């Protein structure tokens, strides 16, 4: 563009100089403006203009390139990077100064009950505007974070990257409208949209390319087409944001991480161009295997994340629970600074993370027992730097537990975020886990009254998470005996909320998280998450409390290795004496056993819609259902007959 500006200025000066020279000579009477002089001047100007046009042809003006994809399908950072690299290296599509728009189309959005509905608020069975808005904003945040590194590569070539997510149906009409709205020079179709390629070739004016299964790019049409104006569909909901750029600047071997955000003039200021820090940046950057990040760069990024950590919890996040379903007001997820621990406090409490204080280890890292200066016993959960849980789960656990305050839920005392350590500080629960008490050979046998009380306590905690937690239900997603801690009074405390999510978050997952044997069938088969997923796992725990069996017992014959497959026929036949833990002998309450077996049977139904809620399970365990049935059978007939 600098060269073109100079040429424009040069042509303008030539014209002005020619006019002034001829006018001066004419006024002095030296010439009478012969036609030949005029022709020569005009010839010079025309020649320069032709040269200018040729240069403009060789150096195209900035344009918009749209990569359209199905946003209902999950993608990895590696796949997105490969897509951008394919477009960049294809040639003839992306030029310096262009704007690369990732257009994600949501023709379906998750319903709070755990199934997909059409993104069409005009129909009875369609999603509401509020649900569409929430899903769109969440997807924008996700893809912006995933594209941060690729945006840095594009920035070096003077190409800015923008994410646009639009909810509406049909998907091809959404793409058509968005491409027309931004006057895109190119439309690059993701492989999942190729089924409508013929439609795009006839209805879209832009040049068209297609991404194949191997992520290579093939040009389908290298010229534009005259198309009539596209009518805007009013039921679409769209949100856009520019992808921030991580620039590494500095001298010599020392680099400084600078966070910047692309912006441009014109209509782009109507977009959401302001970058709001999102916790997923840290984990998503680390998941891109094709980039080598030096230790210095990693340390610089980590320092930036530390400075931004306190701001993360003050932002309006989509995961904030909705307080009012009518006006959409959300509950603030601010985490008080008083919850922040100094690393030195935790080091002192745990004897500098001594091996002697290790309580447990998992994919997240280690848990250490400690004692604060005040005398408070703690359990410090130290996340590994390369933990699969990552920074987003660390943030999620803090936010969820900040709201989950209940006598049957482990209390979060605070957190520490220092250098490459992310630490959660819990109250210390003194009597190990339910898993240890059920299956460890050195543990005393849990008596029936203890088992029944534990079941009731877990039910109360789960009911609180699903039905009583302020704002929105919380789905634990990893209910199992290992995550139920006990006091010496055998009061159960539900813990480990690293996988927990607000119910408003996307209920469809492509990566299985949790523990096999406790995962509901709809989650294993379709990735659907709902409160009924937790209820299923609770049902398995109830079966274990009754029988004392592990969730999978390879010693049993085929068809009876799974505790659910083994227990269901026995409950259906009411052969509960075969179900009870033989270590209990005859020391159990028959009525309570019947109620617990009935509740467990209903919880592990394959159809999630047929499972009771956590509150209903608790009522079954308390026998309230039978008492109400008895009242209905006795009082109502008497009232009618009277």
- Residues 6 or more apart from 422 whose CB is under 8 A from it? 382, 383, 391, 394, 415, 416
Instruction: Measure Cα distances from 31 to 36, 188, 473 in Å.
Output: 12, 61, 91
Residue 441 is assigned to a ligand binding site: no
Q: Residue 245 class from Cβ within 10 Å (0-12 exposed, 13-18 middle, 19+ buried)? A: buried
3-state helix, strand, coil in the chain (%, to 5): 45, 20, 40
Residue of 69, 262, 89, 92 whose CA lies nearest to 178: 69
Q: Report the SS3 class of residue 238.
A: strand
Q: Are 319 and 504 in contact (CB under 8 A)?
A: yes
Instruction: Measure Cα distances from 276 to 134, 151, 317, 457, 501 in Å.
Output: 16, 16, 10, 40, 21
The backbone region for 65, taken as left when phi is positive above 0, alpha when psi lies in -120 to 50, beta otherwise, is beta
Cα separation, 412 vs 426, in Å, equals 4
Catalytic residue among 190, 478, 506, 581: 478
From the CA atom positions of the chain, what is the Rg in Å?
32
- Residues 6 or more apart from 282 whose CB is under 8 A from it? 301, 302, 305, 390, 391, 392
Whose tokens are 């959409």? That residue is: 328
Within 384-483, strands assigned E span: 412-418, 421-427, 474-475
DSSP assignment of 17-70 equals: HHHHHHHHHHHTTS----HHHHHHHHHHHHHHHHHHHHHHHHSPPP-EEEEEEE
Cα separation, 311 vs 147, in Å, equals 21
39, 42, 43, 44 alpha-carbon torsion, rounded to 10°: 130
- Residues 6 or more apart from 271 whose CB is under 8 A from it? 162, 240, 241, 242
Q: Report the SS3 class of residue 623.
A: coil
98 is annotated as an active-site residue: no
Residue of 586, 580, 621, 584 whose CA lies nearest to 600: 621
Cα separation, 51 vs 7, in Å, equals 9
Whose tokens are 């039921």? That residue is: 235
Q: Are 184 and 109 in contact (CB under 8 A)?
A: no
Q: Which H/E stretch holds residue 260? A: strand 256-261
Q: Which residues are known to be catalytic?
A: 478
Residues comprising the binding site for ATP? 381
């Amino acid at each position: 563009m600098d060269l073109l500006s100079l040429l424009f200025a040069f042509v303008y000066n030539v014209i002005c100089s020619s006019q002034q020279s001829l006018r001066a000579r004419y006024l002095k009477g030296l010439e009478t403006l012969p036609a030949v002089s005029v022709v020569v001047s005009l010839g010079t100007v025309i020649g320069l203009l032709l040269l200018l046009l040729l240069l403009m042809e060789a150096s195209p003006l900035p344009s918009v390139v749209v990569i359209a994809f199905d946003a209902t399908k999950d993608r990895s950072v590696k796949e997105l990077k490969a897509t951008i690299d394919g477009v960049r290296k294809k040639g003839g599509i992306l030029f310096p100064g262009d704007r690369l728009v990732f257009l994600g189309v949501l023709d379906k959005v998750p319903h709070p009950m755990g199934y997909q509905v059409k993104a069409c608020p005009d129909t009875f069975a369609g999603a509401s505007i509020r649900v569409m808005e929430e899903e769109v904003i969440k997807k924008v945040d996700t893809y912006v974070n995933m594209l941060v590194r690729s945006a840095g590569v594009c920035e070096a070539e003077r190409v800015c990257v923008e994410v646009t997510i639009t909810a509406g149906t049909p998907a091809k009409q959404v793409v058509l409208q968005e491409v027309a709205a931004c006057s895109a020079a190119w439309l690059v179709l993701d492989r999942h949209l190729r089924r409508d390629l013929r439609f795009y070739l006839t209805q879209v004016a832009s040049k068209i390319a297609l991404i194949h299964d191997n992520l290579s790019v093939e040009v389908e049409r290298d010229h534009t087409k005259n198309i009539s104006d596209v009518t805007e569909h009013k039921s679409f909901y769209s949100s856009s944001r520019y992808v921030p750029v991580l620039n590494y600047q500095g001298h010599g071997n020392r680099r400084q991480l600078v966070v910047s955000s692309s912006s441009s003039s014109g209509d782009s200021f109507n977009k959401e161009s302001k970058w709001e820090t999102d916790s997923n940046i840290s984990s998503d950057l680390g998941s891109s295997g094709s980039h080598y990040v030096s230790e210095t760069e990693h340390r610089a990024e980590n320092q930036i994340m530390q400075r931004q950590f306190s701001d993360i919890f003050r932002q309006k996040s989509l995961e904030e629970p909705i307080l009012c379903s009518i006006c959409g007001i959300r509950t603030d997820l601010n985490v008080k600074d008083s919850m922040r621990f100094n690393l030195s406090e935790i080091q002192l409490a745990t004897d500098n993370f001594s091996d002697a204080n290790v309580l447990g280890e998992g994919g997240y890292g280690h848990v250490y027992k400690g004692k604060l200066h005040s005398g408070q016993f703690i359990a410090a959960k130290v996340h590994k730097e390369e933990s699969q849980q990552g920074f987003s789960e660390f943030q999620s656990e803090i936010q969820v537990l900040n709201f989950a305050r209940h006598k049957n839920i482990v209390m979060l005392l605070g957190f520490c975020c220092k250098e490459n350590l992310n630490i959660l500080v819990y109250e210390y629960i003194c009597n190990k886990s339910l898993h240890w008490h059920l299956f460890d050979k050195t543990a005393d046998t849990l008596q029936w009254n203890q088992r029944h009380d534990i079941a009731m306590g877990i039910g109360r905690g789960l009911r609180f998470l699903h039905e009583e937690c302020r704002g929105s239900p919380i789905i634990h997603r990893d209910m199992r005996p290992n995550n139920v801690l006990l006091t010496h009074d055998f009061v159960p405390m539900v813990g480990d909320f690293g996988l927990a999510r607000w119910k408003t978050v996307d209920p469809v997952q492509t990566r299985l998280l949790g523990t096999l044997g406790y995962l509901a069938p709809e989650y294993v088969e379709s990735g659907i998450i709902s409160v009924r997923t937790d209820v299923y796992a609770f049902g398995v725990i109830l079966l274990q409390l009754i029988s004392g069996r592990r969730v999978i017992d390879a010693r049993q014959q085929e068809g009876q290795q799974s505790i659910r497959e083994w227990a269901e026929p026995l409950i259906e036949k009411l052969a509960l004496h075969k179900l009870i833990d033989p270590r209990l002998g005859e020391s159990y309450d028959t009525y309570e056993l019947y109620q617990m077996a009935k509740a467990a049977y209903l919880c592990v139904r394959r159809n999630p819609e047929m499972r009771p809620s956590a509150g209903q399970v608790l009522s079954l365990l308390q026998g309230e259902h039978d008492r109400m049935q008895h009242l209905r059978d006795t009082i109502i007939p008497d009232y009618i007959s009277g």
